[in-house]
Structure 1
Amino acid sequence: MNLTSTSRQQSSVNRLLFMLLLIGAFGLAFLEGRGQSNSMKTGTVERIKVHGNSLEGNLAGDSPDRDVSIYLPPSYQTDKKRRYPVIYFLHGFTDSDDKWYGLTKHWINLPNVVDKALADGKSQEFIIVTPNAYNRYFGSMYSNSVTIGNWEDFVATELVNYVDSHYRTLPQAASRGLAGHSMGGYGTIRIGQKHPEIFSSLYLLSPCCMMTSLNGPSNPEAIARMENVKTVADLEKADFGTKAAFASAAAWSPDPTKAPFFLELPVQEGKPQSMVLAKWTANAPLATLDQHIDQIKQLRALAFDAGSKDVSIATNNKILDKFLTTYSIPHTYEEYDGDHINRIGERIAEKMLPFFTTNLSFERSRTAKKR
């Protein structure tokens, strides 16, 4: 036998076997890739305009026609007879709906977070609705005010009615959740504690503004920056804390006689204004909780959390936890290792969406209003 010829034949066989194995490997990877792609179904985002009658005539001059981002789950376009629970999600101060929905670059993309949670089996499908609460003062505080318009009414009534009449929702409180981050967390407890007939379950992510200082601002430099704002241009250039003070005043201590901002600040000529501070306290959830206990008891579920490094908010969450425990109101409270924003996407996927999956109804009750 010719050993050289035999070696060549064996080499050819080896190369053929190698090519077949390589093709097989590529084919398997392709099929696996197709399977992964098919399993990662994604929802769609619509951005619409919703007119708010309750926002008309606001002294700030903001349009009553509000942008609203809506996440529709993967099956919405194909399962035409199916109806869905709705999560109303409120964004934070200086944020806007487009930032949260991936339409503008931001630190979070809510649709991506939801899609992954669905793919991982951590959530059922929901419609998610976020109104744009960014205004002349960089945030509405989701409050009623002649200066900014009646945002609380817009969210609780007009927005809900619009969504129920234009989308395949389950139009009942048992199938509506309210949630939000920071200012949105504040809006969630502010609105939710008054309207259990509209929203049955609440989730607060790092809620701000739960309590105000009874003595007013104490930092002389912060007070000076606040009082040095005389024009709209001054406010545009102001630091975050000054902007937040003006937004709070526009929401909680409006004054229709004081152009150009139509508000009263908690300090004047360096001195605290007791009446303004009283108005701010009257809008602090920790101060008003006792007046809404019967309504809070009607909620199906209530949860809130904050990062341990978000010190003031975590502290107020502890107070809220104690209040609810005193009244024997079932709730879930958690403090985790994090700051104000660094783990919010994770908290939404791991905590908020499973919370609503457990507590919202996916079936239409016999008494639900038909559309």
Structure 2
Amino acid sequence: MNFDCISSKPAAFVYLAISLAVFVASTIPALSQSAPVQPGTVERIKVHGKSLEGNLEGDSPDRDVSVYLPPSYKMDRNRRYPVVYFLHGFTDSDAQWYGFTKHWINLPEVIEKALAEGKGKEMIIVTPNAYTRYFGSMYSNSVTTGNWEDYVAKELVAYIDKNYRTIPQAASRGLAGHSMGGYGTIRIGQKHPEIFSSLYLLSPCCMTPNANAGRNPEAVARIEAVKTPADLEKADFGTKAAFASAAAWSPNPTNAPFYLDLPVQNGEPQPTVLAKWAANAPLAMIDQYISNIRQMKAIAFDAGDKDASIAASIKVLDGILTNYQIPHTYEEYEGNHINKIADRIEQKVLQFFTNNLAFEKGKR
């Protein structure tokens, strides 16, 4: 019996089927792999702040603002989008988060990775440049820094609503930030439920009164060694943070050249200044704003377990909100102050706002 004869037709059929499959896969890529997400666009604009005019630091009231527009924004001209206002940390700027200069996180890339993996919906992201003469505004109202709280909550939001296709309602606005930006998020957000409906705090700093301010001899010596703006430029991180905090929370319009009162003078702690600082700690003021916080659609906060003092402070925040029976999400994860922030934004923050912001006008 001729076995070659009876096997030749099946073999030819198999060969034809394989060839057809290869052809289809090569000519129709969408069948063999998911289509890549188109990139969004980033605009860096100037937004004038009347609230910032005349600040004693001498910072320009015309602020850089980075705006991320999602992939469909330029194509679908009738579509409107929710907006997340993202506040950067101390010594950072918007440029360091949006790839305009040396950066440790490229926020647009993080957003687009999340979109590609189906972990969020398209939204506009807005970050003002809060880098100041003293390396950070603390997002507070002060004659020395300017009224940053008002600038973010009122002027910036109004400008973005006027010039971009937003959904101009609180239900479609979120506020988030890292470190100093996390502090700004709770500080501003708890005062303005009529503007923002959802808050996410990433490793928020400065939540509790700093009991050690003005009491550490080495830190005091470094602070008191600063006599000129040039001295401050060369100072360590902690000293810079002390001056930024003083500019925001204990301004003094007659005390040149820095126009602030420090928590220490001639080696002695200054109780009045320390009291002003304590009054600006969110965990000290939160009970005043509980009725506002109850109006929020959603609140979330997290910190790395190696970021000890901040992890401890948000645990207190968790306890306060729990006592008031206010729903929220709290997580302590394995990490430090900066090493997993991009992952947290991709995996948690964008999904949080996708789940809680209104993507249509009139919805809550």
| Conserved 8 A contact 2:214-2:268 | no
Shift in Å, 1:25: 6.7
Is 1:121 the equivalent of 2:118? yes
Once the 2 structures are TM-superposed, how far is the Cα of residue 211 of structure 1 from its aligned partner?
Answer: 1.1
**Match for residue 82 of structure 2 among 74, 85, 100:** 85
Aligned partners of 1:176 and 1:198 also within 8 Å = yes
Are 2:153 and 1:140 aligned?
no
Deviations 1:324-364 (A, max 9, x none): 11111111000000011111011001111000000000010
Supply the AA of the counterpart residue of 2:159.
Y
Query: How far is 1:365 from its partner?
Result: 1.1
- Partners of 2:33 and 2:126 lie apart in 1 by 28
The answer on 1:224 being equivalent to 2:221 is yes
Structure 1 pair 36–254 and aligned structure 2 pair: CA distance change class (3 A): farther
Q: Distance in 2 between matches of 1:296 and 1:267?
A: 34
Maintained 8 Å contact 1:215/1:277: no
What's the CA shift for 1:115? 0.4
Alignment partner of 1:194 out of 188, 191, 214: 191
Mapping of 1:1-371 within 5 angstroms? Answer: 28=25, 32=29, 38-214=35-211, 216-365=213-362
Give the CA deviation at 1:38.
Answer: 4.3
Residues 158-204 of structure 1: CA deviation (Å, up to 9, x unaligned): 00000000000000000000000000000000000000000000000
Taking only aligned residues, the RMSD between alpha carbons, in angstroms, comes to 2.0
What is the deviation of 1:270?
1.1
Q: In 1, distance between residues paired with 2:22 and 2:259?
A: 69
Describe the shift of the 1:197–1:230 C-alpha distance in structure 2 as closer, same or farther (beyond 3 A): same
SS in 2 for 1:45: strand
- Give structure 2 stretches of 5+ with no counterpart: 1-14
The residue matched to 2:72 in structure 1 has which SS?
helix
State percent identity of aligned pairs.
71
- SS of match in other structure, 1:342: coil
Deviation at 1:259, TM superposition (A): 0.6
Structure 1 length-normalised TM: 0.90
Q: Give the structure 1 partner of residue 5 of structure 2.
A: none
Aligned length: 348
CA distance in 1, matches of 2:113, 2:33: 12
2:4 maps to what in 1? Answer: none
Give the TM-score normalised by the residue count of structure 2. 0.92
* Paired residues of 2:25 and 2:31 also in contact (CA < 8 A): no
Task: Specify every segment of 5 or more residues in structure 1 that has no aligned partner in the other structure, as ranges.
Answer: 1-16
Q: What residue identity is the alignment partner of 1:247?
A: A
Which letter does structure 1 place at the counterpart of 2:229? Answer: V
SS of alignment partner, residue 74 of structure 1: coil
- Match of 1:3? none
| SS state at 1:77 partner | coil
Residues of 2 paired with 1:104 and 1:214: CA distance?
36
The superposition leaves residues 94-147 of structure 1 with CA deviations (integer Å, 9 ceiling, x where unpaired) of 000011011112111000000010010000000000000000000000000000
SS of equivalent residue, structure 2 residue 65 = strand
> What secondary structure, in the 3-state scheme, does the structure 2 residue paired with 1:241 have?
helix
Query: CA–CA distance in 2 between the matches of 1:87 and 1:113?
Result: 14
Deviations 1:276-322 (A, max 9, x none): 00100110000001110101111110000000000000000100000
Q: Is the 8 A contact 2:209 2:284 kept in 1?
A: no
Counterpart amino acid of 1:338?
G
Q: Is the 8 A contact 1:73 1:125 kept in 2?
A: yes
SS in 2 for 1:61: coil
Deviation at 1:40, TM superposition (A): 2.2
Contact 2:304–2:336 under 8 Å retained in 1: yes
